[in-house]
Amino acid sequence: MTLTRDVSHALTKARGIEGYLDSDPALRVRYARAKHLRRVARHSNNYDLTSRCNLFCEGCFYFEGDDYKRAKEEFDLLKWRAFFKTQGEQGVTYANIAGAEPALEQRRIAIAYEFIKRGCVFTNGTIKIDPSIGYAILISVWGDELTTAKLRGGGVFRKALRKYQGDHRARVMFTVHAKNVDQIPAVTRVIADHGIKISFNYYSPTESYLDKLARNESNDDKFFRLSSQDDNLTLTPEALVRVRNAIDEMIDRYPGLVIHSHAFNRVITQPEGIYDVDPETGIARNCNGKSFRWHQTYRVDLNVSNSKCCAPNTSCKSCRLNAIALGSLMFQQERFLDSLNDFRNWLDICDQWGRGHLLESDPIWSVEGETGPLPIDAGETARYAFG
Ligand code: SF4
Ligand code: SF4
């Protein structure tokens, strides 16, 4: 019975897509590219490269919680080499390199790049990553100079822009939160003036940060220095509407530089969020960023993490992390099949993932037809299929 229902569902879905492609043949190339992008994202692993950082950001996603205490950093480069070699041999298609601050350990990134040809590095941008590493560099920005100085440290904002001006790998990931909504136009203009591409991340608090707010806990001198119940970074429904409007305006004002889609902005700013959260466990049932066989997170000791995802401290209820939400929606095509317009929105979301995570030189952008192999070996095989 289940099989029959599944087959019938798949057929309906395929007929719906074919109908949309017939009514707008120009979408065929975009659909072909979206399928390639999904293959690239399909076996992506996350790597915590080091448990050290040169900043102390308020509400840090890495240190504001206990998960990082579970692993002791491996320093032997030969072990890192053997590790990434195995990852490459196992067919990992995309490497998400994170921290704390991965730029502190660039030889490890270079080794990852040797064995996994596509990937990105999540960095605070204060240390330039060697130009020979052909990964997308995703630089986190938290607001204008004053806000950044308050939340992360003085000089961080300008330093990151100076270091990455003219670097084709750089994309600023501007994290919007309750205290910088009004800064969105000015900050976007400064980043655009440096010629750096921009996408937006939506502040997603950790469980620990939310607990401290709920308990009205006193501030400390580390990652909870400034917030209180009445004044904090969380995005209220009202703030989400303001965020949505401001980002929509930026998308229209800086085409080509703002690599963010209206479709994603609309979906992610729904007050109820995009995930179906299990009330018993507090974990999102439909998040494709969760750890499973083809999507693992490795901690700094090179062992696979047993946590729910690569951002284990984050609360699923208010999780709007850009990369994970984009990845989830790419693999939840069925949410976007009710109309031609919805289907176009899904294509926009897939493109947004690609523009943010792959370089312009990637052969995927020259995909022209619906059939045929990828122009390069993506290390992808049918056995990775889950979405
Ligand atoms: S740069 Fe990242 S890892 Fe370092 S303190 Fe800030 S949020 Fe945490
Ligand atoms: S990525 Fe976000 S929604 Fe998904 S499991 Fe992690 S915290 Fe939850």
**What's the N-to-C CA distance of the chain in angstroms?**
21
State the distance from the centre of ligand 2 to the C-alpha of 253, rounded, in angstroms.
Answer: 31
The pLDDT of residue 381: 33
- The pLDDT score that the predictor gives to residue 387 is 29
- Does the beta carbon of 60 sit less than 6 angstroms from any atom of ligand 2? no
Model pLDDT for residues 196-209, shown as the tens digit of each residue? 999 999 999 888 88
- pLDDT of res. 377: 36
Total-model pTM: 0.89
> 198-211 in b/e burial notation, b at 16+ Cβ within 10 A?
bbbbbbbbbbbbbe
Mean pLDDT within 253-264 = 97
- Of 3.30.930.10, 3.20.20.70, 3.40.50.2020, 3.40.50.620, the CATH number of 44-372 is 3.20.20.70
Which residue matches tokens 């620990």?
Answer: 208
β 197-202/170-176 pair status: parallel
How far, in Å, CA of 248 to CA of 324, rounded? 20
Q: Which of 207, 295, 308, 315 to mutate to test the pocket of ligand 2 (most atoms within 8 A of CB)?
A: 308
Residue nearest to atom 7 of ligand 1 (CA): 60
Phi, psi of 140 (to 5 degrees): -85, 130
User: What pLDDT is stored for residue 330 in this prediction?
Assistant: 95
From the CB of 149, is ligand 1 less than 6 Å away? no
pLDDT greater than 50 at residue 382: no
- What tens digit of pLDDT does each residue of 65-85 get? 777 888 999 999 999 999 999
In the chain, domain spans: 44-372
- pLDDT for the residue numbered 225: 72
**Rounded average pLDDT over 365-376:** 56
- Ligand 1 atom closest to Cα of 63? 8
| CA distance readout (Å), 331 to 42, 277, 286, 335 | 9, 18, 10, 10
- What stretches of the chain show up as alpha helix (H) in DSSP? 2-23, 27-42, 77-89, 106-115, 145-151, 156-164, 184-193, 207-214, 237-253, 262-268, 322-330, 340-357
Pocket test for ligand 2, best of 210, 286, 290 (most atoms within 8 A of CB): 290
Is residue 293 over pLDDT 90? no
Of 248, 210, 251, 200, nearest to 232 by C-alpha is 210
Q: Confidence class of residue 379 from pLDDT cuts 50, 70 and 90? A: very low
- Averaging pLDDT over each range in 106-110, 290-294, 321-325, which range is the top one? 106-110
- pLDDT value of position 294: 86
52, 56, 124, 204: residue to mutate for ligand 1 pocket, most atoms within 8 A of CB: 124
Residue with the nearest Cα to atom 1 of ligand 1? 124
Q: Are 139 and 194 in contact (CB under 8 A)?
A: no
The predicted pLDDT at position 248 comes to: 98
Task: Provide the pLDDT confidence category of residue 7 given band limits of 50, 70 and 90.
Answer: low
Pairwise CA distance, residues 80 & 111, whole Å: 7
pLDDT at 378: 36
